[in-house]
Amino acid sequence: MKRILALCMAMILAMATFAWAADDTVRIGVFLPLTGQNAFGGQLELEGVQMAHKEAGTVLGKKVELFVVDNKSDKVEAANATKRLIEKEKVQAIIGTYGSSLAMAGGEHSENAGIPQVGTSCTNPLVTQGKKYIFRVCFIDPFQGAGAATYAAKTLGFKKAAMLVDVANDYSVGLSNFFKKSFTKQGGQIVATLNYQSGDQDFTAQLTKIIAEKPDVLFIPSYFAEGAIIMKQAKELGATFKIMGGDAMDNPEITKIGGKAVEGFVHTTFPYDPSMKEMNPVAKKFTDDWKKTHSADKEPNVNAALGYDAYMIIIDAIKRAGKADPAAITKALAETKGFVGVTGATTINETHDAEKPVGLVMIQDGKKVYTGEITPDL
């Protein structure tokens, strides 16, 4: 009997200790592509999350713990990552991820478990569609697709466009459709749409057909590595048309891969870049802090900024909720209005998407230059 009583007491103490520990910390999960095709973007976003965590490591007097899982740029791994964060790590909120298809795969577990998930740079509308617990700090593809089309049609005065689309990627397919819709609405014509598959390295056949159609602009909703190769091969084939892309091209590696071929390239982005002439105080502090801890050849980019903002918007929601309960965090996130982060003022709308301007970056003299913002013609 004494042994049974001692065992019971030990179990009670253990449970009490666990409850105290759980109540004394806020557990935030992070799932990002730290390896695989999207690793560079995922690693930058993790750096942004870690910067924010270092700055705001406590909330409501409780220590914030981060639990990071690599989704390996794979849909199945993304689903497994969120499942592990929810079931094993018992997180109260999740950050992630770079890559819309990865966010959708992981989001199913978050939605079913009632755990709020804040996306970083997952821009496909389907990520949040019909979801109660899924949010994001980035704008969605209809906005940036229309932004790119509006810049091409109205600012540059182009009439004919071609597209080169990764048919195996939800982001690429979706963004190309929104560009096409807006460009044709503004009187433009899509003269060619050619396809490729993720991981392809030779685009000469598609580019040869596109060149023959003589477009004013080629829109490539690609990830940076493939996009840089496309531009390099286009130049080698003698292409003279303008080339534009989306936010997944916002990566300093494109100049290293594409060399002089990327000169003049324009892509849409979120309203942050270290080359901005005017920054809000949060963006300036973020930029200064980054430069203090990184070498001069590694500038912050918008992925790091979005990682930072995703963490901070969760902390802000917890503060406003007054507790770290998942349901309370979800409610507070849905009520977010005018949250000022690195990427500007963010308001979460009724579909749980972030409303913010569409920025534009151009490669000039081998460097990214933030050229301003554009209001999309939807």
Q: For 206-261, how does the pLDDT look when each residue is reduced to its tens digit (9 = 90+)?
A: 999 999 999 999 999 998 889 999 999 999 999 999 999 998 898 878 888 999 99
344-348/339-341 β-pairing: antiparallel
Same domain, 156 and 240: yes
Whether residue 49 is contained in a domain is answered as yes
Same domain, 320 and 233: no
- The pLDDT value given to residue 45: 97
160-166/134-136 β-pairing: unpaired
Whether residue 256 is contained in a domain is answered as yes
pLDDT band at 23 (very low <50, low <70, confident <90, very high): confident
Q: Among candidates 218, 222, 264, 226, which has minimal Cα distance to 247?
A: 222
Whether residue 275 is contained in a domain is answered as no
Same domain, 150 and 265: yes
Same domain, 232 and 342: no
Whether residue 367 is contained in a domain is answered as no
- The pLDDT value given to residue 354: 95
The answer to whether the CB of 33 falls within 8 A of the CB of 41 is yes
Same domain, 161 and 254: yes
pLDDT at 144 over 60: yes
Same domain, 155 and 225: yes
Q: Which structural domain, as residue segments, surrounds residue 53?
A: 27-139+284-357
- The pLDDT value given to residue 18: 38
Whether residue 40 is contained in a domain is answered as yes
- The pLDDT value given to residue 253: 83
Whether residue 104 is contained in a domain is answered as yes
Same domain, 116 and 159: no
Same domain, 161 and 253: yes
- The last residue of a domain, from among 202, 235, 269: 269
Number of domains in the chain: 2
Taking only the tens place, the pLDDT of each residue in 331-359 is 999 999 999 999 999 999 999 999 988 99
Same domain, 189 and 259: yes
Q: Give residue 172's Cα distance to chain centre.
A: 14
Amino acid at 234: A
Same domain, 185 and 252: yes
- The last residue of a domain, from among 216, 246, 269: 269
CA distance 370 to 94: 30
Same domain, 39 and 102: yes
Whether residue 163 is contained in a domain is answered as yes
Whether residue 187 is contained in a domain is answered as yes
- The pLDDT value given to residue 205: 97
- The last residue of a domain, from among 246, 269, 292: 269
Which residues are 65's β-sheet partners?
A: 27
Same domain, 265 and 148: yes
CATH code: domain of residue 254: 3.40.50.2300
Long-range contacts of 191-195 (CB under 8 A, 24+ apart): 191/160, 191/161, 191/162, 191/215, 192/162, 192/163, 193/162, 193/163, 193/165, 194/162, 194/163, 194/164, 194/165, 195/164, 195/165, 195/166, 195/167
Q: What is the pTM of this model?
A: 0.81
